[in-house]
Structure formats: structure tokens, C-alpha cells
Structure 1
């Protein structure tokens, strides 16, 4: 059984509860111990800003899950053109802004419903960000545990790989290798999807993870250097536990707090990265919507039709701010001694 420093009860780790039956008659007071997870959740709930950000994040995940269902049911129509609602004299600007039929208005030039495209874009952008963050954390955690626990030559080799990866200009590599890597993916049988959406999204996920894991590995390695000296790790060694068991049964459960915090900080970074890459012409292309390419297309109409520009920009800003605040709240709840 793994032990952590936070598993030792501190003042405030227990709570009183009303005794019942004979205990109450005898005047006994009940005391209930709380696990580190319950303590962290209790601290998290006391922070109103963190709870608001948590609610917003849950809302965006619900949007990401429900939007494809609504599109399939015909409730949302992101690819329908409403040319009759455009003014050709003004270059295809909408005749009107928000309406009951189109709460966020329609796209200039195409007449597609902006709400439907932003919601579907939220689904795709968050799918890319979530997939990239999960792969990044897995790679960084595994290599960080191996480097920190093993030490010696293995630690040195992984450290040099980290330095080499960080030395590459990731944005330049993304732009330079985009078409080449996507073509090779298609050659090996990876499906392209509608308008190449799947293979391009897969490319973004792989590259984000390939350049994003070194900071995670360094963080985890530093934690493991301390954990490997604990008594429960020595006990596991003496009992003949294998390396994989020590890695994933003894050490990994003691790393969930920094992993969770870093994961919540990776999500907004990857949402922003997808938007930036779409602006640079790398990633999922129109007509398949993401928050990035919707915003990129709106730049042409920022002066003449601000609603088209500010709506996806606000969506991206709210997602990024909510995840950042959630990460701050999780860090404070999991490590109450650390200052905000």
C-alpha cells in the first residue's frame, strides 16, 4: 500500500459528527477521518472562483459531447448556406445580426450559422487539446518516473533528449513538416476524414505531444527524486517488487497531484495552440470548423462585422481563462502551503 506525506492527518483533517444512539446518551463525540482527496475537495469548494471555473469547464465539456449529437439530429446546421440573408451589395455581409433563428448571426460571404459552427468548433478544438494533453502527460510521466528512479546513465540520456527536444523551434517545425508528415500518415493508412480533418487533427495532436512532454518529464523527475527515498519504496524493493510495479503501483499514485495540476494547465495552452496553428494555415481546414479557423476567417471582417470576430475570440478566451483558474484552484487545494 502506497503512503504519501499528505496521508498523515494534520489538524483539521478530521471532522466531528453527531453521535447516535448509545454513544449520544453516553456523551461521546464522533470523529471522522478524511482522506487527502476529501481534504483537497473541501479546500477546493471553499474557493468560489475555482468552483465557478470548474462549472464553466464542465459546461464546455458538455457542449463538446452534445454538439455532434445535435448536428446529427439536424438541430444544429453548421454547413447550411443562407445566401438569401446576405447583402451582395456590401460584399456578402448579413442583412441582420443576432436573431432567434441565428442567435450569433451568420458568417459573411457564406451565410452559415455562426452558433452551430462555433459549437462544433469547440468540440473539435477541445478534442484536439484533450488528446494532446493526455498523450503529453503520459509520455512525460513515464519518462520522468524512469529518469528519476533509475538515475545514472538512463537519467542522463533522458535528460539530453529533453534538452534536444526543447532546443527545436516547435512552431517552425510544425509549419515546415506539416504537408510532409500528413502525406506520410496518409501513405501508412491513417484515414483523412472529411476534408482531411482527421489526419490534420491527428498531426496537430502528435506534434503538440512531441514538443510538449519535456516540461512534464522534468517536473515528474524532480518529484520522483524525493519519493524514491521513502520507506515504502525501500520496502517494495526488499520484497522483490519489479521495476514496473514500483513505477506504477508505488510511485505513480503519489504523483497524481502535480499531474492533475499540469494537465489543467496544458488544456488551455493546447486550445490556444490549435487556434494559432489554424491562423498560420496548419491544421484542420475549412469548411470543417474549429475555434481556430473560425477566428482566422473572421479576421477579414473584424472592422465591417465585429460580431463575427469577437464571438469565437470570446469563446477561446473563456475556455483558456476557465482552465487556468481551475489549474490555480487545483494547485492551491492539493498543496495548501503553496501561495497563489
Structure 2
């Protein structure tokens, strides 16, 4: 008569068949992930989006560091280097377009200022204008879009007609027509108006932002028309939540994905718009550098000093393309049902 210890019996009962063990191991490897982590994983798998994201990060970090580099003398966007220019050629740099170890991108014809310093410092002002104008457009468009989509009725009709009215105005012509009056008004109202760049910057930001919100409002309104029918909105109404709480506590947190994507798509538009406005004489006046007015100054020397024209044009093209590709990548990552 064999004797089986209780411990060994328990061990035999605890053993699972091989199939069950494989199933248990597979179940243990499955880890739940939130929608945000899933979106980040999809975004990281997109090589082109990651390259664009890296370029955008470098651009933003460079814009933040530029004022400090100017303060400590690393960059010199205003200092002339007349000794590197040839007066006989109309102020064109003497040799190799002024490119040297101290001036990696050369110097400006006529003024002799370092091109690298002006482009790097100009990134700061261009980014400031683009971000500020985009924030104005996003805030106005998001608030009016939420109100229109949730309220419907007369309020929705009035906001929709306001969108149509705003879109009917030619933005560029309005900006040119109101430039002298608007800049003079801000020059009187703003403190420290001795800085000529500040009134122009505020004017460009407000005009771009206040004429750029209708597209955002239409996008948000369409999203809110769907969200307002969800169960958590009905629950908030039953609990007696005010419209303001429903707008900003219930609806707005569910709109961060389209707002983020739209932000990255609108930003490059305003970077290009700043360059175009500088060409038309409405942007930031020199000698304050922006990508737009550096490119405008280079057009007069596009034949005599081609690299002076090439560097700002190439930088603007790379930055705008990177923001656009980043926006497309975010849209694909946040909307897995969309066609890639």
C-alpha cells in the first residue's frame, strides 16, 4: 500500500495541461493600453512623422534659445561686417559669398550682417507670431464652435452666418487696407511703443487670428453635434449642470485631438503668411529679423548672391513641410479609422 503525502497531491492537482499553460501565458502577456498610448504607438511607427517631429522640436528649441544666445554674444544679428563686402560690386560679399568659419552661411549683401544669426534670431519672431495668431484663431473658433454645435437654433444660425461673413472678407486685402491705421492705433495703446516691431507684431497677430477662426469653428461645430448626443451629456443635464460646465468640463476634453491636429496644420500657414506679409510691407519692419523679412531682403540679391536667397527660402520650406507632415501624422495616429 503506497503512501501519498498531502503536499504532493496538492502539487499534482495544481499542475495544468500544456494547452491551458499556453493559454495562461498568452493571457498574461496581453496588457491593456489606453487610447493615448495606442495613438502614440501608431505615431512612433510612422517614420516620416517622427522625422518631422524631430525637425519641429529642433525648430522650437532653437527659437527659445536664440534670445539667450544673442544676449550672451553668441549670435550677432545686427552687427555689420562692411570689410567683407565689395563696394565695386554693389555691396556683394567679396569672396565665397562671405561664407567662412565665423559666418557659416555668409553675410548679407549691403548691410554685412551675419546671415546665420539673423535667420536663427528670426525664427523666434516668426514662431512667436505664428503661435500667437494660431492661439487666437483656436480659442475663438473653439468657443464659438462649441456654443453653435451645442445650442443649435437661433444661436447656431447667428454664429454660422458670422462665419460666412468673416470668410467673405479678403484677408490679405483687409490687412493691407487697415495696416497704417491699425499699426498707428497699437503704437499709441501699447506701452513702450518706441519699439517699432511691437505694434506691427500685434497687428499681424490679431488680423491673422481674427480672420482665421471660421475654419476651426466649423470643425468644432461638426464634432460637437456628435458629442452632444452621447450619454454622459444627458447625464450632466439630468444632474443640473449649467451650459458653461457642459461646454468646458464635458465637451472640451473630448475635442483635444482635432484641436491638436488643427493647431499643427494652421501653424505653417501663418509662418508662410508672415513671410508673404513681409514681402508686401506689412510684416515686422527691419532691422528686426524674421524669416519673412530676411527672405524679402534676399530677393533683391537673388542673382548676385544666390545663397543669401536660398538659405531663408529653404528654411521656410523645411519648417512648413515639417509642420504639415506632423499634422498629417497626428491625424492618422489619433484617427485609426481614417485612410492612411
Which residues in structure 2 correspond to 1:1-340 (within 5 Å)?
Answer: 29-96=28-95, 97=97, 98-192=99-193, 194=195, 196-340=196-340
Secondary structure of the equivalent of 2:337?
Answer: coil
Larger deviation, residues 88-97 vs 304-313: 88-97
Checking the alignment, whether the CA contact within 8 Å between 1:285 and 1:293 is kept in structure 2 is yes
Checking the alignment, whether the CA contact within 8 Å between 1:104 and 1:114 is kept in structure 2 is yes
Equivalence for 1:19: none
Checking the alignment, whether the CA contact within 8 Å between 1:86 and 1:108 is kept in structure 2 is yes
Secondary structure of the equivalent of 1:33?
Answer: coil
Larger deviation, residues 226-235 vs 91-100: 91-100
Question: 1:95 offset after TM fit, Å?
Answer: 1.2
Checking the alignment, whether the CA contact within 8 Å between 2:141 and 2:215 is kept in structure 1 is yes
Residues in 1 aligned to 2:255 and 2:191: alpha-carbon distance in whole angstroms:
34
Larger deviation, residues 270-279 vs 185-194: 185-194
Secondary structure of the equivalent of 1:102?
Answer: coil
Checking the alignment, whether the CA contact within 8 Å between 1:193 and 1:199 is kept in structure 2 is no
Question: 1:188 offset after TM fit, Å?
Answer: 2.4
Checking the alignment, whether the CA contact within 8 Å between 1:191 and 1:199 is kept in structure 2 is no
Residues in 1 aligned to 2:249 and 2:321: alpha-carbon distance in whole angstroms:
34
Checking the alignment, whether the CA contact within 8 Å between 1:82 and 1:112 is kept in structure 2 is yes
The ranges of structure 1 where at least 4 consecutive aligned residues each deviate by more than 6 angstroms after the TM superposition are none
Residues in 2 aligned to 1:39 and 1:229: alpha-carbon distance in whole angstroms:
26
Checking the alignment, whether the CA contact within 8 Å between 1:87 and 1:95 is kept in structure 2 is yes
Checking the alignment, whether the CA contact within 8 Å between 1:131 and 1:205 is kept in structure 2 is yes
Per-residue CA deviation, residues 116-167 of structure 1 (Å, 9 max, x unaligned), is: 0000111100110011111111110000000000111110111111010000
Secondary structure of the equivalent of 2:166?
Answer: helix
- Could you say if the C-alpha distance between residues 198 and 246 of structure 1 is closer, same or farther in structure 2, counting changes exceeding 3 Å? same
Residues in 1 aligned to 2:193 and 2:307: alpha-carbon distance in whole angstroms:
32
Residues in 2 aligned to 1:55 and 1:274: alpha-carbon distance in whole angstroms:
23
Residues in 2 aligned to 1:188 and 1:77: alpha-carbon distance in whole angstroms:
31
Equivalence for 2:5: none
Residues in 1 aligned to 2:308 and 2:38: alpha-carbon distance in whole angstroms:
44
Checking the alignment, whether the CA contact within 8 Å between 1:190 and 1:199 is kept in structure 2 is no
Question: 1:29 offset after TM fit, Å?
Answer: 1.4
Secondary structure of the equivalent of 2:55?
Answer: helix
Q: Which runs of 5+ in 2 are unaligned?
A: 1-20
